[in-house]
Amino acid sequence: MTSAWLAFWNGSHSIYVNARHKDVHYRLIAEAIGALVPRRDARVLDYGCGEALHADRVAAVTGEVLLCEAAPRVRAGIAARFATNAKIRAIAPDEVEGLPEHSLDLILLHSVAQYLKPEETAALFVQFHRLLKFDGLLVVSDILSPHVGALTDASALLRFAAPNGFLIAAVAGLARTLMSDYWRLRTRFGLTRYDEAAMLKKLRAAGFVAHRSGKNIGHNQARAAYCARPR
């Protein structure tokens, strides 16, 4: 991740239009991860987890949850939030590199690949292949295709906001986004996009057998998720 994107995520931003939006966003992700956990003693890595507000829901159905976040301020907040939960540990990316081989049952890379260069994502996939158990699962989700633009994302947010009680805030938030640091960074650096063939090729090159999932994790079903297992 470029230093500009890392600084953005480490600072104050308005990606979430209000507290309600942030809460339901992270709750939805935690519920999806929990549904993927294969057994009660599984070790789970959420790589690029953000604030992970509801990671305790994942911890309730698994043995250990490793929350990897590159932004130091966010990582410190995670550590403080879950300080009393022995199943949850906040770690930095360099700590992931030091994990034992074949020690993880499930890895999630959600809404991260678009902020990485293709070679950075490829390197992560190789690392994940080393860390996963032979029957482990990697899920790469919220992948932007070349044909999904900002208007599609905006429409998905409004459809998510309406039944969850923050529609007015979402409309105002979308207007603010056009003047935000996020939009300036997105315009300057762009977002990395993959069609299905490109993502499957990248996963295969790292040693996985992969397929596109029928459902993305999160609210935006115009984006894609992929499930991969070591071969």
How many Cβ atoms sit within 10 Å of the Cβ of residue 19?
Answer: 11
Token representation of residue 40 = 């009660």
What domain range is 87 assigned to? 3-230
Amino acid, res. 178: L
| Residues contacting residue 212 through CB under 8 Å, at least 6 positions apart | 196, 199, 200, 224, 225, 226
Total-model pTM = 0.95
Q: What is the rounded distance in angstroms from the CA atom of residue 223 to the CA atom of residue 229?
A: 21
Domains identified in the chain, total number: 1
Instruction: Encode the chain (231 residues) as per-residue pLDDT tens digits.
Output: 778 888 888 988 888 999 999 999 999 999 999 999 999 999 999 999 999 999 999 999 999 999 999 999 999 999 999 999 999 999 999 999 999 999 999 999 999 999 999 999 999 999 999 999 999 999 999 999 998 888 999 999 999 999 999 999 999 988 888 778 888 888 888 899 999 999 999 999 999 999 999 999 999 999 999 999 999
Q: What CATH number corresponds to the domain at position 212?
A: 3.40.50.150
